[in-house]
Structure formats: C-alpha cells, structure tokens
Chains A and B, each alone.
Chain A
Amino acid sequence: MNPILSASGLGKRFGDRVACRDVGFDLWPGEVLGVVGESGSGKTTLLNCLAGRLHPETGTVVYDSAAYGQVDVHDLSEARRRLLSRTEWGFVNQDAREGLRMGVSAGANIGERLMAIGARHYGDIRRTASEWLGRVEIEQDRLDDRPTTYSGGMRQRLQIARNLVSGPRLVFMDEPTGGLDVSVQARILDLLRGLVETLHLSAVLVTHDLGVARLLTHRLMVMQGGRVVEEGLTDQVLDDPQDAYTQMLVASILPV
C-alpha cells in the first residue's frame, strides 16, 4: 500500500521570512494528520503547499490519485490539479465565506461540484444537495436560502457538505472550528469525526487548538518557526511531549 500523500523536504519563504523548512511526512489512507503550532508557525503555508495552492521552493508532494496513480502535485498541469481538487480532494477553509459562494443558495453551493463534473439533472442535483444538507444537520427547508442568512456554524457545516458531496478521498482542513463558539465547535467536531470515519477519509488538519487535535487526529506534527519539532501518535505527543516547545504548548492548555 502507498501513502495517499507523501511530502518531503518542503520549504517556502516569504521575503526574508521562512514560512516552512524541510517538512516531510507520509499520510496513510484513512488517517487524519494534525499539524499544530502557534500562529505564524507555518502551518497554513504548509497546508497550502500540500494542496497545490502555493508552490514550495524546495521539496515534493506526491499524491496517490485514484484516477492517475502517483502524481507529483507541483508537476501536474493546472488543469489536472484543479480537476483533482474538485473531485478527489476537499478543502475546508477557516473562514467559510472563502469556501462558499455567498451569493447563491445552499443547494447551488453543494451542487456546484456535481455540475462541474457533468451532472445535468436539476432534480437529481437538488435531491443530493438536500440529502447532504441533512447529513451536516441543517434543516432541509434551508436549501434555497443563501449562506448569508446562515449562522457561522451552519456556514461551516455547509462548506463541509459542499466539499464532501463529490466523494473526495483527501480533505485539507484549515482551522475548521476556528472563530466559532465552543458549543458550536463541539457539534462540528462530532460531525467531522463521524464523516471521516464513515467515508473513510484521509485528512490533513491544521489547528492551533490541541483539544481539536486530540479529538480528530491520529497523528500529530508540532511546528515551530517553520520546522517540525516533534511528531508521533496524537495521544503520545500530547500525553508525553518530548520537545520543550511541545511541552510548553501542552502545559499552556487548561486541564479539562
């Protein structure tokens, strides 16, 4: 079996600031990898490099595609990378507004990927969209409403539905519960955990919240100043941190 995503030697700079340096890992099918660290530690840059949204200066990202076999994400033509990103991948932004079309209905938001890959039956698209709305626990009579009328938590759930409707295998998540109320967070985390399990998704999850990481991820990478300072099984890293920085991170969360 191949890893579904394999990164090695990734490096990226912005001006004279190093955003990430020599990052590598293998992500196995069905696995959720967490990337944690404080803001500015390079997590989001890393995620964008993995998803092909940013070009790293060094290193490679190899994805094991269902359609094309093993491909280097940054060697792919833009056409193919965009196709992959709307068929085999999902990307959940921290700010749902960036991942949604705010000017069209929830149904159109969920249906877009289906239409982009050729669905042309309005009734079918609508039915599927409605089902997905239900799966992310939004009342189905909100199907024709625009996300502007949704609460923050609902928008985030809609964004998740919009991503998962095409049955992706790999999902990138950037602080999917950031900026939401604690009770709302808990509901989304539950939802995500259920979906990852039932859909057998692989995922890379960036978060600064160790609680989120503990709940959702199998393995953890701790980043500081653009480098990986520690990695391992999530429970192991959180319960017995080896690196001084990780120890500080773990110590700084309030005991639950």
Chain B
Amino acid sequence: MTLNAWLPVFALMTSLVAALVIFALPEKGYRLRTAVNLGAALVKLGLVVVMVWGVFRGVDYGVSFTMVPGVAFALKADALSMMFATLSAVLWLLTTVYAVGYLEDSPNRSRFFGFFSLCVASTMGIALAGNLFTFFLFYEMLTLSTYPLVVHRGTEKALKAGRTYLIYTLTGGAVLLLAIAWLHGVEGDLPFREGGHFIDADADIHLSLILIFILLVAGLGVKAAVFPLHGWLPQAMVAPAPVSALLHAVAVVKAGAFGIVRVVYNIYGIEASSLLGVLEPLAWLAAFTMLYGSVRALSQVALKRLLAFSTVSQVSYIILGVCLFGPVGAAGGLVHLLHQGIMKITLFFCAGNYAETLGIHRIDDMDGAGRRMPGTSLAFTIGAFGMIGVPPLAGFITKWTLGSGALAANMDWVIAVLVLSSLLNAAYFLPIVHRLWFREPNGSWPRERRWGRLETNAWLFWPPLLTAVMTVVVGVLASLPFSPLSWAELIVLREYSP
C-alpha cells in the first residue's frame, strides 16, 4: 500500500492514539496530557491540510478491507469528507485549548480528555468513511464516546440527561442499522460515490428505496435534531461548555446532518432522490424545524438552552440546502456545515466564559456584561450577528446562497421561510446583544472569579475571539479559493457532473 492509502488511517489514528495515551496517563500529569492533546491536534490538522491539497488536485486517498463477509471497512477522502474533516480538525484544536482552561482543577480530567479524543476520532471516521457500513461504525462509536462527556459532572441531572441522550441516539442507531442492513439486502455493499447509485434503479424497487430513505433519515435525524427527534438536545446542555460546543458545532448534530448529505448525494444520488420524490417532503420538514427551533428559542430563559434551540433551527439549514435541487442551493447547504460550526462554537465558548467568570447562566443576568468582559462580548456579538445573517458575516453567505438556490430550483416558498427565520433569529439574539452593551449591570455578578490582567483565563479568552475572527473572514473572503464557499462549490461541481 502506498502512503496515499495510509493518510486517512493516520488522520484517524492521531486522535485514537491520543485517547489511549491520555487514558494511560495519571490524573495529575497535567502538562504532559495537555502536550499530548495539543500535539495530536496539530498533527491531525497538518495531515488534513495535506489531504485537502491532495483532494483539490484530484489525488485518491483510500483503503478498504473485508470486515464481515460481504461488507468492507472502507476509508476514503473526497471533497465532501475533507470539508467535515477540516471542520473537525480545526475546531478540535480550539476546543482542546478551551477545555484545558475550562476544566482547570476539576476531577476526572483524564477520563474527560480520553473520551474527548475518542469523540474526535469518531468524527474523523465519520468524515472519512467510504461506505454506509463504515459510517455506521463510527456513528455508534460517537454515541458511546460522547455519553461519558455528557454525564461528566456526575450529578443526578447530568445522569438523567445522559439517559435521555442514550435513549434517543441508540434507538436512532438501531433504526439506521435496520435501514443499512435492508439496503445491503437490496443492493449489496454500496460505496459512497459521486452521483450516487440509483439513477437507473428498477421501478419495482422504488417503494423499498423510498421506505429505506425514510428509515435512514429517521435514524440520522435523531442526531441532526430534526423535529420531532430533537428532544435530547436541550437536555444535553448540562454537559460542560466545551462538550456542548463540540456537540453542536462538530460532533453529534453535524454527524447526523453529514450523514443525510452522504445518503442524498453519494448513495441515492441527487437526481435519483429527486425522481423518487423524497426531497420535497424532507425540505418541508427541514423548513418546519428551522422555524420551530427559532420559536422555541424565543421563550428560553437559560442562555445555553436558547443556543440549543438555535442549533435545532440552524442544522436544518444544511438539510434544506441539500434538498434544493440544483448546484447553488446545494452549495448553500454544504457551506453552512462549516459556517454554522464556526459561529455556534463561538457562541458556546462565550456562554462558557460568562458561566465560568461571572457565574451567569440566565439571560436576564447578562445586563452590562459587555463592560466587564468586552472581548468575550464582542465575540458573542459577532457570532449572534452571523447567525442572524448580517452581511458580510458567514451566516449571510449561507442565507444568500440558499436563497439564490431556492429561486433557481423554483421553490419560492423557501425565501419566505429564510426571511421569517432570520427575523426570528434577530428576535432572540438582538435582545441579548442589547443587554450586553446597553443595560446597566444589576449590581454584583452571581459568582465572579478573577484571573490577572485579562477579563478571564487566557485559555478561555482567545478561542472565542479566534472563531469570531474566522466568522468575519470566511464571510468577507468567501470568493477566494479554499474558502468554505469555494470548497462547497467544488464539491457540488463534482456531485452534479461525476
């Protein structure tokens, strides 16, 4: 085997090996553990950059062997997988930095960082999976490795949330397994392929294909938090802030959305999905989830729960984009996979900073926090404006592209949904921004801590600022090569003309 075959394996192994090393390290080995964490994250980022460049030039990265009779374990890197892998690699690095600061002096850090790395290894596997079977393998590994993170605090409430999380995700996993096994029975082992497999499918298997599609989307929709399968997400907010950040930006919800993208583009094929008539209902469901999540967010009093419902809404932008038949809309959906990740992680980092530094968990305690923590509040404001879709930030690019795609696909109602959703986003984010900057503080903060010169611990201070800058940059420079938008257009080009 050549080096090209091994690169995806190495990228997967970096976080897997890091996890094993961290489990083996003693609880007190603080410096060594941080070094292993950051080192592995940097190595992985390097490998991903190499592969991105390779995929851009058309190099094939892939390895596969027969695992169970009739099915292969396959890893491969195409343009779509690199998009998810880049997101995972970049945000892993930042979240690790953040988590090191966040969990300072708390117990069970060895366990936390071990499972954290396992979780990232799973997302890498999801990105690089070459067929549905391999995808499922890492999809379930993700479920298992996030559970200890969700219940990390060991309180009754956390354990209860963990149980809800498991009931939802394991049931979703079982449905997904049924769908994959059924599809395997109908058509055999199907590798992910640009253009999909079913454009010439016989008419007599159309019904099975539609049923399998429904099961696949139901199984994946649990993690993507599609209405009505979103119930676990707001509850899982008891997890520590870096976990929520990772869950919302990269790991769990994105894995579900990414899976739906894979199914539509690389298993069924966009044209076959359109012919089968499954895209339109999914688009309606996504549109409804967008509005539903925003409406529920309006009435939340806890900041993290508000962000959770905002995620429910935002992830469905991706699904909606996938369902718009036509290259422009598809690019809009795919680019949101990255944009939403960057913006949402900013907001969660900020929420964590408010909680750790000032003890703020509720929105009505946030009055005047902008004066005490200007850096964090600036990042929060940029993230919130991005979510609303203020030009020229990342969210604007998404919404603009989606809108153009909807017009091109003759689905004018999507424009109305986009406008309405943006208004709702503004309705729940702007009051918070107003509170931050223009209200007087209530007196004392709920639980204030001080760290030297900066407004908060340096490990917590820089990551949100950095992701806020990224939110601006990917918006302003959207037309440059290797920007998320250009990459999404590259993917779409390859999907529509395989």
A binds B: no
Using a CB–CB cutoff of 8 Å, the interface residues on chain A facing chain B are none
